[in-house]
Amino acid sequence: MTEPVVLKEPHSILGKMEVPYKTFVGALASRFLIELRDNKKIMGIRCPQCNLVYMPPRSVCGKCFSQLDEWVELDGKGTLLTYTVVNYKEPVQPADVNPPFVYGIVQLDGADTGLLHLIGGVDPEKISVGMKVQAEFKDKREGSILDIKHFKPV
pLDDT value of residue 153: 97
CA-wise closest residue to 81 among 115, 117, 130: 130
Confidence of residue 31 (pLDDT cuts 50, 70, 90): very high
Least confident of 18-32, 58-72, 98-112, 124-138: 18-32
pLDDT (tens digit, 9 = 90+) per residue, 81-134?
999 999 998 888 877 888 999 999 999 999 999 999 999 999 999 999 999 999
Sheet holding 70-74, edge to edge: 53-54, 42-46, 70-74
Highest mean pLDDT pick, 5-9, 49-53, 97-101 = 49-53
Which DSSP string corresponds to the chain?
A: -PPPP--SS----------------HHHHHHHHHHHHHH--EEEEE-TTT--EESS--SB-TTT--B--EEEEE-SEEEEEEEEEE-S--TT-SS---SSEEEEEEEETT-SS-EEEEE-SS-GGG--TT-EEEEEE-SS--SSGGGEEEEEE-
Extents of the domains making up the chain: 26-153
